[in-house]
Amino acid sequence: MNQITLSHETDVDLWRAAVRPLLARRLPPESLSWRVGQEAPDLFSDMAEPPRGKTRLAVTHPIRITKQQMALCERVLCHTDPARFHHLYSVLQRLQMDPHALDDPGFHSGKWVRAADQSIRRDRHKMHAFVRFKKVGDRPSSEGAREVFAAWFEPDYRIVELTAAFFARRFTGMDWSILTPYGCSHWNGEILSFSPGVDKTHAPDADVLESAWTTYYSSIFNPSRVKISAMMSEMPKKYWKNLPEASVIPHLIQEAEHQKSGFMSAPETAPHKLARKITPDVYALRATPKHITSWDEAKQAAERCTSCALHQCATQTVFGEGPLNADLMLVGEQPGDREDLTGRVFTGPAGELLDKALIAAGLDRRNLYITNAVKHFNFAPRGKIRLHRTPTVDEIKSCKYWLDLERKFIRPRVILALGKTALRSLTGYSAALNSVRGQKISGLNGDIILATYHPSYLLRLPHGQARAEACRKFTADLSQAQSLADAPQMMK
Amino acid sequence: MAKTLIDKLAVLANAAKYDASCASSSTTRKNSLASGGVGSTEGMGICHSYAPDGRCISLLKILLTNFCIYDCRYCVNRVSSNVERARLSVDEVVKLTLDFYKRNYIEGLFLSSGIIQSSDYTMEQMVEVARRLRQEHKFRGYIHLKTIPEADPLLIKKAGLLADRLSINIELPTDAALQNYAPEKSTTTIKTAMAGVRQGIEDHRPDRKERSRHRPPKFSPSGQSTQMIVGADASTDAEIMTSSTTLYSSYKLKRVYYSAFSPIQDASKDLPLVKPPLMREHRLYQADWLLRFYGFQTEEIFAGRQDDMLDLNIDPKLSWALAHREGFPVNVNVATKDQLIRVPGLGLKSVDRILRARRQTRLRLADIKTIARSVKICRAFIETSDWTPGSLLDSAALRAAFAPEPKQLSLL
């Protein structure tokens, strides 16, 4: 029988030093007996001292304990059951052979350790949540007075050391002590220290802020949603005695019924007098011009367009932009994800490609009027992303109204349709793009319509010959459109 | 008579309680060890207390003021309401937050406000609270700012650099409902503001391609969320979920909160002054989870529902499984993860444990009992090495076995 003696209940260092050589020798858990500090030694007490330090033993097996496993052991050591040493050792021993042993639902010690770990984590979490500091004074220091706080708490397990670092990280700027029956932790801004447990008589007195806190607690409670079981499961009664707000719970529950029926039967009151003094800016009534006489009015009216269903899902209308006297107008399909967010045309990946092509063709984007055939983003939501959907014929038709207005106010000499949707909207053609690319189509207003690829189409092509060729054509089309727009005025 | 701080606190907390969100998790890890101030956030948020309504109290949830120039009919603070009004100064909010925080009452601040003077003025005040906490008091706790969508985008940018989370309430699921109930608000303005927050978050992410050491300052590291009121208007559950799906995909929201409309003080009489539809709210959250974590699509959830409403008696996953029995039973020893997560009674954690446990041993029903939340529900849909549901799965009475007993309507 090997006897291991730990200096105190949560002696992680000594436990760890003792366990490693035992594991290395693959000693069975049954052959070990564990004891802590002052307990009366049993018959074989002097047989084995805990192997510590550099004592060289006949190491026959390598030991592997991961960081997570060590953290688990540290937590489970805080348990109050003396059997924890046995179970932890059994688990560690099996983990040496089988790193997934804890997943085995039939492994008794594994189950015990997992359940213990769960209760300790819960206890730790509740301690983080339910410790209530009370201010007990101020301490002068070199950087001015430091506030001094103390708290009394009764955890289920020996978790004072386990939780102390958390409180130090959080309450660095104040002095505090947490007193519990299992031990106390103290922080002075620099050093974390521990002292033996104390009894409840040492608990600090009430704090002046407690009435404000209780007021807050009572006011944030919604009496028409009483659900006591949910409160009890998360904040069991055992914690209530140390929570200042818990004293008002019975009263709140009692009041709730009364208050609720009061709301429902109260007579309707006249609107408050302030309501008459404030003229509301009612969104729904903001004037929309009946007859649109300028580009600005068209843009404003389009912002509130509801003529198709697309406005329900999209963020905003993305209207065209550019100089109002532009000779060349580019028409794309519809705004994409990025455009929908920014509210501006061609600002996404397709826009980047367009910008590059414009530079290659020697065009200045600032001289062009750029818009889309459809002004709202049409998409299908898939989890956290939005998949582009080609606009339907109806959507193109109803949005044509805005495109026509843009044509009317800009009066470009040349319109370059980017992709099939734009071509369809401008001319009604639904032919394959390649069959009309490069041809001049006369518009009704005497403008010239040309068609080319949409930049997104180029993005979708796989890198290589085909894409390079299509990009070259695209750039050529841009140049052609520009030279037509620059050509001597024939009829405008 | 001038109100004391406690009086104001009571009025302004009372006005804030209809905001459902109290989350303080999933932000960046930060602590005070280096700065010597107070405050930390470490991944998981902490609920410091629970009110008898079963909801957690994690943040000091408070309005800067409950005066408001808007007249949203569902809101307790609308201009035409006769509720008691109060206003806290920036200093008062800052001091209250720190005092509560130092006593470990709260995880941080959730600041909201009625609109006074103008949207910009109000937003400036809220940003100033966050700025003082962060910069003058070295506060590292959680700050959630309820952003005013009509405010200047530059103020929202400032807010994002100080707060852990920004949220903008969508309020009601459809544009039409919003125009009806909140005439001064517009869905477009709200969505555009959400789009701005999403862009802010994305613009402040370190560029993975550029392997520079440069780390831009964090912008709303805990993301953005929104809230929808359920039961004030006539929207169906399907409309609500469709709206959420759009919001999640468009603005990468962390959460959509559903808030069952509960009777408010001095309410306008065209609102349903009945008990808040808590079960409906609960089912919506369950459906929301199915969409986000269980790979369901909105259309699937509402496929068999005639009235576009979720079944109040059983959860949406069970409801779906009962309508799709041909896909069951699923053998827990061989099924894929995607099949397992669709089994009623098995959650993501249980499925994860099943997948790990079955590498160790062939699973029996007794093993599932220790793993699953409710073996009573899931056993009708699974096979183990010693169990098969047999005719139980096809039984017409299966639904009745899960639904609560029908109750006689009470006369009140």
Residue type, B362: R
Of A104, A189, A227, the CB nearest to B357: A104
Q: Do B57 and A264 touch (CB under 8 A)?
A: no
Strand A32-36 to A2-6 pairing: parallel
Strand A414-418 to A385-388 pairing: unpaired
Measure in Å the smallest separation between the Cα of B87 and chain A Cα atoms: 15
Q: Which residues of A touch B42 (CB under 8 A)?
A: 166, 169
**What is the number of alpha carbons within 13 Å of residue A206 lying toward its C-beta?**
11
Tell me the C-alpha distance between B381 and A342, whole Å: 48
Cα B111 from chain centre: 16
**Strand locations in A196-349 (E):** 328-332
Q: Name the residue in chain B with its Cα closest to that of A285.
A: B183
B118 contact A CB<8A: no
Q: Do B50 and A383 touch (CB under 8 A)?
A: no
Q: Do A383 and B246 touch (CB under 8 A)?
A: no
Tell me the C-alpha distance between A189 and A149, whole Å: 12
Ramachandran sector of residue A383 (left: φ over 0; alpha: ψ -120 to 50; beta: rest): left
Interface of B with A in 250-279 (CB under 8 A): 250, 252, 260, 262-269, 273-276, 278
Domain B5-207+215-223: which CATH number of 3.30.420.140, 3.30.830.10, 3.40.920.10, 3.20.20.70:
3.20.20.70
Q: Name the residue in chain A with its Cα closest to that of B357.
A: A103
What architecture is the A295-486 domain classified under in CATH?
3-Layer(aba) Sandwich (3.40)
Helix crossing, A12-24 with A84-97: angle to 10°?
Answer: 40
Q: Which of A26, A29, A125, A20 lies closest to A69 in space, CA to CA?
A: A20
**Strand locations in B168-284 (E):** 224-230, 255-260
Residue type, B80: S
Q: Name the residue in chain A with its Cα closest to that of B358.
A: A104
- Residue A381 sits at φ, ψ, to 5 deg, of -70, 130
The dihedral formed by the CA atoms of A20, A23, A28 and A31, expressed in degrees to the nearest 10 = -30
pLDDT of residue B22: 82
Q: Which two tokens stand for residue A254?
A: 């009692």
Element (H, E) at A398: helix A393-410
- Residue A62 sits at φ, ψ, to 5 deg, of -70, 150
Of A147, A224, A316, the CB nearest to B192: A316
Distance separating the N- and C-terminal Cα atoms of chain A: 107
Domain boundaries, chain B: 5-207+215-223, 316-402
Tell me the C-alpha distance between A231 and A252, whole Å: 13
pLDDT of residue A60: 75
Q: Which two tokens stand for residue B64?
A: 């800067």
Of A252, A384, A385, the CB nearest to B52: A252
Interface of B with A in 366-405 (CB under 8 A): 367, 370-371
pLDDT 10s digits, B248-298: 999 999 999 999 998 887 777 778 777 888 999 999 999 999 999 999 999
Residue-averaged pLDDT of chain B: 91
Q: Do A280 and B184 touch (CB under 8 A)?
A: yes
Of B32, B359, B360, the CB nearest to A172: B32
Count of H-run helices and E-run strands, chain A: 18, 14
Of B14, B82, B274, the CB nearest to A219: B14
pLDDT of residue A287: 63
Q: Which residues of A touch B262 (CB under 8 A)?
A: 222, 224-225
Find which of B73, B249, B356, B364 to mutate to test the A interface (most A CBs within 10 Å of its CB).
Answer: B249
* A165 in Cβ contact with A192 (< 8 Å): yes
Q: Do B57 and A217 touch (CB under 8 A)?
A: yes
Residue B1 pLDDT more than 80?
no
B9 contact A CB<8A: yes
Find which of A216, A233, A252 to mutate to test the B interface (most B CBs within 10 Å of its CB).
Answer: A216
Q: Do B363 and A105 touch (CB under 8 A)?
A: yes
Question: pTM to 2 decimals?
Answer: 0.91
Of A212, A234, A260, the CB nearest to B50: A234
Of B14, B81, B367, the CB nearest to A105: B367
CB pairs under 8 A between A and B: 264
Ramachandran sector of residue B149 (left: φ over 0; alpha: ψ -120 to 50; beta: rest): alpha
Q: Which of A139, A160, A157 lies closest to A148 in space, CA to CA?
A: A139
Residue B13 pLDDT more than 80?
yes
Q: Which residues of B touch A283 (CB under 8 A)?
A: 179, 183-186, 189
Q: Which residues of A touch B199 (CB under 8 A)?
A: 341-342
Measure in Å the smallest separation between the Cα of A346 and chain B Cα atoms: 16
pLDDT of residue A41: 52
Q: Do B104 and A222 touch (CB under 8 A)?
A: no
Find which of B19, B250, B258, B262 to mutate to test the A interface (most A CBs within 10 Å of its CB).
Answer: B250
Of B32, B54, B81, the CB nearest to A173: B32
Q: Which of A162, A81, A88, A85 lies closest to A126 in space, CA to CA?
A: A162
Tell me the C-alpha distance between A33 and A4, whole Å: 6
B349 contact A CB<8A: no
**Strand locations in B232-316 (E):** 255-260
Of A149, A172, A227, the CB nearest to B54: A227
pLDDT of residue B212: 63
Measure in Å the smallest separation between the Cα of B311 and chain A Cα atoms: 21
Q: Which two tokens stand for residue B218?
A: 């964090």
Q: Which two tokens stand for residue B122?
A: 């109000």
Q: Do A216 and B9 touch (CB under 8 A)?
A: yes
pLDDT 10s digits, B124-143: 999 999 999 999 999 999 99
Point out the residues of chain A with pLDDT beneath 70: 38-59, 259-268, 279-288, 489-492
B82 contact A CB<8A: yes
pLDDT of residue A45: 47
For CA atoms A431, A435, A438, A439, give the dihedral sign.
negative
pLDDT of residue A270: 80
Q: How far from A169 is each of A153, B36, B41, B146, B241, CA to CA, in Å?
A: 19, 9, 9, 27, 40
Element (H, E) at A450: strand A448-452
Per-residue pLDDT band at B411 (split at 50, 70, 90): low
Poorest-pLDDT segment among A429-443, B198-212, B332-346: B198-212
Residue type, A35: R
Of B13, B268, B370, the CB nearest to A105: B370
Interface of B with A in 176-195 (CB under 8 A): 179, 183-186, 188-189, 191-192, 194-195
Contact partners, residue A8, CB within 8 Å, separation at least 6: A36, A37
Q: Do A227 and B53 touch (CB under 8 A)?
A: yes
Q: Which of B15, B20, B94, B127 lies closest to B62 in space, CA to CA?
A: B15
Q: Which two tokens stand for residue B151?
A: 């405010």
Ramachandran sector of residue A470 (left: φ over 0; alpha: ψ -120 to 50; beta: rest): alpha
pLDDT of residue A54: 52
ipTM of the complex: 0.94
